[in-house]
Amino acid sequence: MIRTWQLATGAAVVGLALSAGVVTAAGPWDSGQRKAERQWAASQDRTGGGHHGRSASPPPVSPPVSPLAPAPAPSAAGVLSALGTQAVPPAGAGPLAAALRPLLNVPALGTVQTASVVDTATGEQLYGSGAGEAMTPASTVKIATAAAVLSALGPDHRIATTVMAAPGADLKAGTRQIVLVGGGDPTLTARKPGKRGTPASGASLPALADDTARALKGRGIAEVTLAYDTSLYSGPEYHPIGAGNDNIARITPLMADEGRLDDSDAGVAPRTGDPAGDAARAFAGMLRERGIRTTGDPAPGKPAATAKPLAKSLSAPLSALVERMLTNSDNDIAEALARQTALAAGEPASFEGARKAVAAELRELGMDTKRTRFADGSGLNRDDKVSAAFLTGLLVRAADPARPQLRPVLTGLPVAGFTGTLSKRYGDGSPVGGLVRAKTGTLNGVNTLAGTVVDANGRLLAFAFMASGTLGKDAAESALDRLASAVTGVP
């Protein structure tokens, strides 16, 4: 009962703060964003996969309101004034600093510790300690990956996995080759609906096989040769941490269930060494089950220049992929989304192309990237460098009412004591369970935490705490959790 009450209370407080300082359109939640807000954002750019957030400080524009729609949320200024926020003094030299300093400078947080706490409504830094120092962020760099891809493609963009074939008459008379083309969706699943670990929505190989078999039978074709195309990506296929690492699969634009060899859908797991080939072989088997024979084993290949789409399966919206990536700290999705950002920018879909594209997209959001480095999208690479102030700057932009396309950066953050990588932290009885939402980051000797809280004065605050030279994961995480708890002001 205590835990349920905390989550309900936390959700209510966070909802008030979001309506005050973040959300400008009313409507029901859908995949972590308000439907009305998403529809309005989409109406500003009708190109579907268009570029969003091109101005560093776009002027706020009110979405159209139907006479039958709920009244819009009160303005941020009105609600924050009612909460007494305007009367709260800066905390840089006040109670917040007094609470955080002794918690930051502890042995559990290693040899270097940095911090940044910012009021999302005003952008004012309430506390900073080495806030501008570039550090290894570990998985908190996924916040940057998320912001970049949402800005580049928008929250409604979907990634396609496509079956290509020669035009009708040519296909019937010729080699009858079809090509399974990977579009970069690691959430494509080969699992049957209802099976444990099967996503509730998104791209499905069985559904794609249904559509492909139906299209082939409609052309009077019962036998084909199957090839598969992974040419969308370039550069190294293995992350620098090395092949065979259970944290991430071989990086390829065609894979099913992230190349997992068990029935998990998150966390570490043994991976196949040939995710693209395995996905193609699984697809061939599904076609046979549906009455379409395949000759030989699937082999790498490209569609003919005259080929047309025969069938297509789309991922869940980008907003849902971002939320899943952040909640579960999903490395496979992170690397895929970094490459989607590269493709949107006309860069190669590689580590290097993603590095350039992510940095450029974040500059479009008004971020200073001079002292940053995005060596990968997942944070597994120790060469990634960002500062605590950089992370809070991204969170402030995600809370900006003028940038609704970035909202999944906030809604995807794990909830303390309840979801994702924070589900087992802030244990039973914690007074801030449900109040802290934050992305975790963990490498050997590196521990980070960045997210949002609503403080005792009703302010939505963004925070980032970074530590290096840590000696123990558990002790470091507990120390970071105490810091985030202190920001809430809850005793």
List, by residue number, the catalytic residues: 139, 142, 329
Alpha-carbon distance 238 to 260, whole Å? 15
Q: How many CB atoms within 10 Å of residue 397?
A: 23
* Residues 151-163 as b or e (16 or more Cβ within 10 Å = b): bbbbbbbbbebbb
Alpha-carbon distance 148 to 143, whole Å? 9
Alpha-carbon distance 285 to 264, whole Å? 22
Helix axes 318-328, 142-153, angle to 10 degrees: 180
* Residues 119-142 as b or e (16 or more Cβ within 10 Å = b): bbbbeebbbbbbbeebbbbbbbbb
What is the token pair recorded at 124?
A: 């004012």
Which amino acid does the sequence have at 317?
A: P
For 246-249, which contacts have Cβ atoms below 8 Å and span 24 or more sequence positions? 246/270, 246/271, 247/331, 247/380, 248/331, 248/332, 248/335, 248/378, 248/380, 249/186, 249/275, 249/332
What is the token pair recorded at 69?
A: 């729609």
* Residues 207-216 as b or e (16 or more Cβ within 10 Å = b): ebbbebbebb
Q: SS3 string of 270-291?
A: CECCCHHHHHHHHHHHHHHHCC
Q: How deeply is 259 buried, as exposed, middle or buried, from its count of CB atoms within 10 A (0-12, 13-18, 19+)?
A: buried
Alpha-carbon distance 211 to 180, whole Å? 13
Could you tell me what percentage of the chain is helix, strand and coil, using 3-state DSSP and rounding each to the nearest 5?
35, 15, 45
Q: Are 197 and 289 in contact (CB under 8 A)?
A: no
Element (H, E) at 16: helix 2-21
Q: How many CB atoms within 10 Å of residue 356?
A: 16
